[in-house]
Structure 1
């Protein structure tokens, strides 16, 4: 009877090597609670070599360093559905390759996933450790460590020419002030910025090879992030493009779901109430026959009447009497337009506050005076900067978090009963905040992407 080899003791993190992939060292989080092992990969492409399916991919093997890139190719072993760290199932490519830990080497299966936003470029699961190692969670680097000098020596041949991120602004007009500022701000911070016109993009829907094409040519797959600035009129297609980028593992500063939700005023108001955020009393009904009851419900005239869909355009209409309100509602329903009826905040004297919020933090706030033109309530002019109270700062953070928006404008109104939320906009206009408020909003958006991707200049 042969004697069984003793198992190697490893800590909660260890250095691994993959000779076939040209990766001499990558630090792995050792996690016996995870079944499958995962290696960081981006620019993943499937191709054929003879009759065999292969995968090409790039790896950032060094933690918190995007300047070192190793280009890899390996036969495709399988496609597997794996739960991500957020608990969402996703389909991943699987390869099999030799892994070396300490003085041992054996074959392991690895799923490929973009782990740039995670602490470790690799996760070592129990399937790869079974029968070979035991984990002592009190230890770290039990099989040896590599310092910065050693890593620099190992990867001196793999330093990437591009130091910054590659970020696309997904919008409709390259000459728009906001889009130009985002491109300028990104380039000033050392990033490779590109403009993608929504109307000139199309997509390939494929579980194995999802793709976005621009002017008929496949986009380079080394995009790190997109900044969607989707006009209300193209919400459906713009959100679909963002979903496609997300399926390719590319970060969108505002998700497709968040963009679509924010374009529905009724859904926004319902979300606010669900999260305990105060709004003006509002009403919504399908039939014009319910118009009078609806107006009574919000306290009677005068009322504000707003299109539910942001893409419908137009300003809020003020109806000073019941006949006018009923006529507006009836006319809208005849063209299948949905309207939100809202109490008119007379005590606020037409003053409102708009706050530009990035990552749940207000970066600039302006006060506005509304104007009435032919019964249409328009935002009017900026009357100065404004300072949010502590309670209002909490309110705007809760509002953007409720809609999962990283970049947004939150509109507020101060009343005798307290501050109420009027609306949330997913693609806000930076210009008044930068010109009147003298704030560099575009730089804050780029910085938010850097934070999400854990990117730092020089790393």
Structure 2
């Protein structure tokens, strides 16, 4: 099977392991940086060129692209979809999950529990916005970003006004989100593949840090999820139209809350914690999806 792995760098752990695993299983694997592609439309048909070479007969495209991925990159993903390749994850799902507010809106619309969240651009509304989410401290988040970048814990109204005011001056839209004290420095990452939770871990922040992201120095520990949390994670991925997703969940005294859904979740720490070969599971699922499609 001819497989394209779309990613910005071949050296990223998840990208590298997927490529290695697929090759070991006998597949032809091509690494493609989407930002170096040409997308062609016209009377002669549709095409994608990579390094000036036309991509032909691609059976499967695996997207390993984060939330900072550009609209240009999404057009490359969409082109492969239009040309008939099986694409995991599709451009629509990536786009839905990329914007944190849009993601939360779609989840809330489907009755999936999310943290109390407010977005505003009116300075006079800030005090009320903080009250709505439960008062200080609050979490401030940019609409776009990953690995905990740009996420701030604001412990007073003055801090909220100062931080958001500065970011507004830089034309940044910011989410104001409830702070869940009982989950300080902890959350759950549920890794969903093909409508099932494949693996999960609890992420724990390092000392003096409220963000539990692995890239911020957090560590993972194995955790067994309840059926309720598994169902929430699977439904969240489904709402986002993602076949592969990392669903981040807060454990609260009032039940689990979905913070965000990632369309290109890393899995290095998760493999270490659980002992599951996630790269192999992804490749096997993706290949079987193509084969199933061919015989339908």
Same fold (TM over 0.5): yes
Change (3 A) 1:206 1:367: same
Whose helix fraction is larger, Structure 1's or Structure 2's? 2
1:310 matched to 2:145: yes
Query: Please, what TM-score do these two structures have when normalized by structure 1?
Result: 0.60
After superposition, residues 171-250 of structure 1 pair within 5 angstroms as 171-206=7-42, 208-219=44-55, 221-250=56-85
1:342 matched to 2:196: no
Name which of 373, 398, 402 aligns with 2:235. 398
Instruction: Check the 8 A contact 2:184/2:210 in 1, yes or no.
Output: no
Q: CA deviation at 1:217?
A: 1.7
Say which SS state the counterpart of residue 415 (structure 1) adopts: coil
After superposition, residues 121-160 of structure 1 pair within 5 angstroms as none
Instruction: Say which one has the larger Rg.
Output: 1
Say which SS state the counterpart of residue 439 (structure 1) adopts: coil
Q: CA deviation at 1:315?
A: 3.8
Instruction: Check the 8 A contact 1:356/1:410 in 2, yes or no.
Output: yes
Say which SS state the counterpart of residue 418 (structure 1) adopts: coil
1:279 matched to 2:92: no
Say which SS state the counterpart of residue 249 (structure 2) adopts: strand
Which residue pairs with 1:293 in the alignment? 128
* Residues 278-297 of structure 1: per-residue CA shift (max 9 Å, x gap): 01111111223321111111
Say which SS state the counterpart of residue 241 (structure 2) adopts: coil
Say which SS state the counterpart of residue 453 (structure 1) adopts: helix
CA–CA distance in 2 between the matches of 1:343 and 1:386?
24
Name which of 331, 354, 377 aligns with 2:211. 377
Which residue pairs with 1:364 in the alignment? 199
Unaligned runs of 5+ in 2: none
Name which of 273, 279, 283 aligns with 1:446. 283
Q: CA deviation at 1:207?
A: 5.9
CA root-mean-square deviation:
1.9
CA–CA distance in 2 between the matches of 1:241 and 1:293?
42
* Corresponding residue pairs, total: 290
Q: CA deviation at 1:453?
A: 1.6
Q: CA deviation at 1:261?
A: 1.3
Q: Of the two structures, which has the highest relative contact order with CA contacts closer than 8 Å and spacing of 6 or more?
A: 2
Instruction: Check the 8 A contact 1:228/1:252 in 2, yes or no.
Output: yes
* Residues 194-216 of structure 1: per-residue CA shift (max 9 Å, x gap): 10112221110226511000111
Instruction: Check the 8 A contact 1:372/1:378 in 2, yes or no.
Output: no
Instruction: Check the 8 A contact 2:14/2:268 in 1, yes or no.
Output: yes
CA–CA distance in 2 between the matches of 1:303 and 1:284?
13
Change (3 A) 1:414 1:328: same
Whose strand fraction is larger, Structure 1's or Structure 2's? 1
Change (3 A) 1:434 1:223: same
Change (3 A) 1:312 1:414: closer
CA–CA distance in 2 between the matches of 1:378 and 1:311?
12
Instruction: Check the 8 A contact 2:189/2:247 in 1, yes or no.
Output: yes
Change (3 A) 1:207 1:411: farther
Which residue pairs with 1:409 in the alignment? 246
CA–CA distance in 2 between the matches of 1:207 and 1:301?
59
Instruction: Check the 8 A contact 1:355/1:409 in 2, yes or no.
Output: yes
Query: Please, what TM-score do these two structures have when normalized by structure 2?
Result: 0.92
1:389 matched to 2:223: no
Q: CA deviation at 1:344?
A: 0.3
Instruction: Check the 8 A contact 1:235/1:260 in 2, yes or no.
Output: no
Which residue pairs with 1:270 in the alignment? 105
* Residues 205-234 of structure 1: per-residue CA shift (max 9 Å, x gap): 226511000111211x11101111123333
